Amino acid sequence: MNKNELSNIKNSNCIKFVNIVKKYSDLTALSNINLSINKGEIFGLVGPSGAGKSTLLRTINKLEEVDSGDIFVNNYKINDLKGKDLASYRQKVAMIFQHFALLQTQNVYKNIALPLEARHIKKSEIKERVLYLAKLVGLEEKLDSLPNTLSGGQSQRVAIARALALNPEILLCDEATSALDPNTTIQILDILKKINKELGITIVLVTHQMEVVKYICNRVAIINKGKIIETGNTEDIFLYKNKALDTLINEKPVLPNNGKNIKLIFPKKSASDSLITKMARELNIDFDIAWGKLEKFGDDVLGSLVINVLDKDFQKVLDYVSKTDVKYEVMEG
């Protein structure tokens, strides 16, 4: 890979997997994976334990080699990269892990500076870069601290800053928030959002935490038994296509056995905020609200509601809802 080809990674349209297969002896970890990840998005890979999501993530930086199929970054096939070409490519593809992998005998400054020192960058340039990154992740007052004095969230901030030292174009996150409490998780996710927005870095994130996916990911792929089950916009996957998530989300509302249960899904910028009261008034019918939920997807709060109607009113309600921008699903009691 020459310098021009390498520099083109930052103009990448996508990371693209074509017919990817990965086996461990008799176990097929990845089976005919076809997937595209767009430049500049935050993309989630979710699935149960052992589904293959971390294996797929690690093929992007070639920590895992594939048995067949092709992987493209900016339409450049990376399968056969070796030696100096592979090292140059990996400078553009950084990674952070669940366990922070910090050098315990070195302070925060030295941990962030490590990749730069390894490439013999001038000390003045290293200092400028480290100070910039420490401020970016909110650690400018911790540069002299050793890792054993830091909280889990602070340690992950150091790991993020270190991953950004060489100005990568792609950031891989393998369960990066799994060891953190909920409040700290949100803080780390906000940093990742900031990095994505301000630096334009494409982020590919593996997690089993569904709230993480909803909070940060633009799009998501559900993986199970080494296969892509479904791919789409995060809110669409969670609000409209719940069946693919059955193995991941243990949530089933208790609904009435009598009458008909209709789940109403309110999209962003819905003009139907008063749908329930208007429908009851205009159709002159009674119904019960059986279940409701508000969920945060990125910067938006979206809602879903299950109403229970009499059998005789069922079709009237469906006809009414069909004329609005609210989606619906008939549910079993």
Closest listed residue to residue 24, CA positions, set 58, 73, 61: 58
CA 52 to chain centre: 15
Q: What is the pLDDT of residues 254-306, one digit of tens each?
A: 788 888 888 887 766 554 557 888 888 888 888 888 877 766 676 666 677 88
- pLDDT score for 10: 46
Mean pLDDT of 319-327: 86
Mean pLDDT of 292-321: 81
325 half-sphere exposure, CB direction, 13 A CA radius: 9
Alpha-carbon dihedral sign for residues 161, 165, 171, 176: negative
The proportion of the chain whose per-residue pLDDT surpasses 90, expressed as a percent, equals 55
Distance (Å, rounded) from C-alpha 279 to C-alpha 301? 23
Q: What is the pLDDT of residues 22-58, one digit of tens each?
A: 999 889 999 999 999 999 999 999 988 888 999 999 9
pTM above 0.75, yes or no: yes
DSSP 238-301: HHH-GGGGTTT--------SSSEEEEEEEPTT-S-TTHHHHHHHHHT--EEEEEEEEEEETTEE
What is the CATH code for 3-245?
A: 3.40.50.300
Q: Say whether 233 sits in a helix, a strand or coil.
A: strand
Average pLDDT value for the chain = 87
Closest listed residue to residue 61, CA positions, set 34, 79, 46: 79
Distance (Å, rounded) from C-alpha 102 to C-alpha 247? 34
Confidence class for position 6, pLDDT limits 50, 70, 90 = very low
Domain edges within the chain: 3-245, 260-331
- pLDDT score for 184: 93
**Cβ atoms of 139 and 130 closer than 8 Å:** no
* CATH superfamily assigned to domain 260-331: ACT domain (3.30.70.260)
Mean pLDDT of 133-139: 96
pLDDT at 107 over 90: yes
